[in-house]
Amino acid sequence: MGLDLASNWHPALAVLAIIVLAAVVYVCYYRNFKALARRKAWLLLALRVTVVVFLFLCILKPVLSYQSIAGEKTRLVFLVDNSQSMTLPVKDPHGEKPRIDVAKNLISGPGGLLKPLSKSFALQAFVFSGSAIQHPPDEMSGALDGKGNMTSIMGSLREAASKSGSTAPTAAVVLTDGADNSAVEAGSQALGFPVFAVGVGSKLSESGIVDILLCAPKAPEEAYKNTTVQVDIEVKAVGLKGLTSIPVRLDTAEGEMLAAGKVELSAQKRSESLTLSFIPEAPGIFEYTVSAQEMQNEHVKENNRQSFTLHVLDSKLKVVLVDRARWEYKYLKMILEQDPNIQFTGAVLTQKNQFTLQGVGRADLVARGLPADVSEYENWDVVILGELDREAFTSAQLEALKEFVAQGGGFCALGGRKALGLGGYGGTPLEEILPVALGGRSAGLQSGTFVMGLTPEGKRHPIVMGTQSYFGGVGGTGCELDGVNVTGKAKPGATVIAEHPEVSVEGEPLVVVAVQRFGEGKTMVVTGSTTYKWHLRHRGLGLDSPYVRFWGQAVRWLAGAKSQDAGGLFAIWTDRRNYSPGQKVHINARVDPGQMKQPLPESLSVQVATEGNVQTVYIKARGDGRHYEEEFTPSAGGKYEITSSVTDRDGKTVQESVTIAVGRRYLEFENPDLNDELLRRIAADSGGKYYAYHEASKLLRDIQAIASAHSEEREVSVWDTPLFFLLFLILATAEWILRKRNMLI
């Protein structure tokens, strides 16, 4: 709001003129002061000065200008964190209080944000933890109870924005401690609106609070019964004065101790790691808890324990690698043998059509590389074929391999100078089962170093889960390949995981990694022959190797068909057993058409239940119609029971289920510190700003600029309004009456 002069007088000159007029009036009235009481004299003078100034304002022509919202107010989404970590204390010079109470005060306390924001914006209010739930603005404080068991900031921002209308909101305000523990990507460039983040909380390490914290334990997702499972644990502490011994134990869900140890921490030594081991004795899905002894004066005791889920299998995965002696074989053999959950068999070509057994297995089964009878494949779950010419095998061997896959086995073909099309496998049963067309021996090799690029489907596939960042770049620490076999296009129904960034075939990028289903089994092709260099390069730089994880996940995915859905009328399973909050769950199911009521359904109804809440997911038929799959994203952490049923040809209902774990039981207390780094990054990337909770009032000033961008300037002429004229008449009349009564007229 502002005041301007339409007469173009300079404001300073106008003020000077008013002062001069007031002085002239004073001089003219000075001789009357002695005839009047002092109070009446000053009142009369004031009235006369005001009347003269009002007349002078008609010459100056003052105009009042102000901002007015043009049309409807623009939308603003306002989110407040309702997760369990918001119950942790904030310690500042004024004492301690829960973070959620600080947030409530910022919402509607003295100087609260909601009321002034509602004046400038069409405000939509949400409380969030794993998802965003809308509430009327005046009911927000009552909706905050701090019971959410996960925090997904970016996921909740996107969800709130999608609920705000067909277009993106003008801006978002989020009040949170930043303790995001979801799998949702934290980059905010794609939001399309600025985020103004208010950090609610403090750093425990800077507050003098004593706290013992257990980091998330590093444990395998799967293990086999009667084999040793190692759990790596890191314990951190703040606020300790002297050297303190802290006992740590590993328990079953029923409280039975499996292992114990201790760490010694102090003000100087704030973290220490230890490894606890145990041996599971039965197959199944089990939850375990690691806990550190609580300190007597400890403020946050919830983060002294962590839980994890372990899928204990009855027997190891059995994998056979058939190849010649080369670097690819050497390193793949090494990492498969080192995996405690894999039983490795190697068949190495030593002379023409003669193979030597390495690892565990029967020498007679691998004497000619592959069995010629499908019944002998019961010794393996996955077969990997390397750089061997078609002439190394008989037609009967390749037919038996095809039948093994059709019955639920897993198969992977690697690239090389005597592999795939170059090796003469075009037109053979091996080409039938692979996800790409092979072509003839003239297919050739594409030379040159490159980093394969993941497709959108590939980025979500369980085979590359956790390794996505290594692919798609050039140089640096990217996973380079030296050359690739040229194949035809991917077959209908195949999933292309990775492509060549520059080379195309028939107008489509050259396939580097692809998978598909064949019958009841799964197949995979890796057209590069130097994946072992991923391991060498990263180990040489002292970095974690994606090679181990890639191949470990590949053989488990390939074995999934045989180990989880072979046999029976109906089976249902997921791509893994443990998930991070916000991570997609891939549900698979299989039916036997020979035992099913016909025709087969186009989709199956799946009930996903957790803590009394049930949602329905429909999984659709794929490929030959008897395999079903679909994805869903869990809304919160916890255990999920996934159940579905079908009807057999006799009208009997067959029900199957699988249990998964999302997050960890004490997930919200793993990182009790305010994560202002994340909030600053989200705000900066989106074009917004970050504020500490005691600076939140600055937000109103900064966000007002956005409201102003959607407003228009309006002007009102003050000097020619009826109110101005009425005030002038009242003042002039009052002055005349006062003069009349005192006989000054």
- 82, burial (CB in 10 Å: exposed 0-12, middle 13-18, buried 19+): buried
For domain 568-664, give the CATH superfamily: Immunoglobulins (2.60.40.10)
Q: Which two tokens stand for residue 256?
A: 């039975």
Q: How high is the mean pLDDT in each 10-residue block of the chain (745 residues)?
A: 69 80 75 69 77 76 61 82 89 78 91 88 90 90 88 90 78 93 63 91 76 87 82 89 92 93 90 93 86 85 86 84 93 90 91 88 87 88 94 93 91 93 92 92 86 86 81 62 91 90 89 90 92 76 73 86 54 78 82 79 90 87 76 80 89 87 77 89 91 90 68 62 76 75 68
pLDDT at 224: 80
Dist. CA 550–CA 498, nearest whole Å: 13
Fill in the amino acid letter for 644: S
Q: Which two tokens stand for residue 270?
A: 């704030």
Classify residue 698 as left (phi > 0), alpha (psi -120 to 50) or beta: alpha
Strand partners for 247: 262
Residues of each domain in the chain carrying CATH 2.60.40.10? 211-313, 568-664
DSSP string, 494-506: -EEEEEEEEEEET
User: Are the CB atoms for 34 and 740 separated by under 8 Å?
Assistant: no
Distance of CA 451 to the CA centre of its chain: 25
Strand partners for 550: none
User: Are the CB atoms for 45 and 25 separated by under 8 Å?
Assistant: yes
User: Are the CB atoms for 380 and 342 separated by under 8 Å?
Assistant: no
Enumerate residues 6+ apart whose C-beta is below 8 A from 150.
83, 129, 130, 181, 182, 581, 582, 636, 637, 663, 667, 668
Closest CA to 666 of 311, 270, 301: 301
Dist. CA 418–CA 441, nearest whole Å: 9
pLDDT at 65: 65
Classify residue 16 as left (phi > 0), alpha (psi -120 to 50) or beta: alpha
Distance of CA 421 to the CA centre of its chain: 41
| CATH no. of 75-202+674-709 | 3.40.50.410
pLDDT at 135: 93
pLDDT at 715: 65
3-state secondary structure 349-405: EEECCEEEEEECCCCCCCCCCCCCCHHHHHHCCEEEECCCCHHHCCHHHHHHHHHHH
pLDDT at 475: 44
Enumerate residues 6+ apart whose C-beta is below 8 A from 421.
438, 439, 440, 441, 443, 485, 486, 487
Say if pTM beats, i.e. exceeds, 0.85. Answer: no
DSSP string, 79-115: EEE-BGGGGSEEEETTEEEEHHHHHHHHHHSTT-SHH
Dist. CA 280–CA 725, nearest whole Å: 93
Enumerate residues 6+ apart whose C-beta is below 8 A from 343.
316, 317, 318, 319, 359, 360
pLDDT at 347: 93
Classify residue 376 as left (phi > 0), alpha (psi -120 to 50) or beta: alpha
pLDDT at 476: 44
pLDDT at 689: 93
Q: Which two tokens stand for residue 40?
A: 């009446």
pLDDT at 499: 93
User: Are the CB atoms for 83 and 129 separated by under 8 Å?
Assistant: yes
What is the number of residues in the chain?
Answer: 745
Helix/strand number for the chain, H first, E second:
15, 38
Residues of each domain in the chain carrying CATH 3.40.50.880? 317-438+509-564
Name the CATH architecture for the domain at 317-438+509-564. 3-Layer(aba) Sandwich (3.40)
Closest CA to 175 of 695, 581, 580, 635: 695
Class of 211-313 per CATH? mainly beta
pLDDT at 166: 63
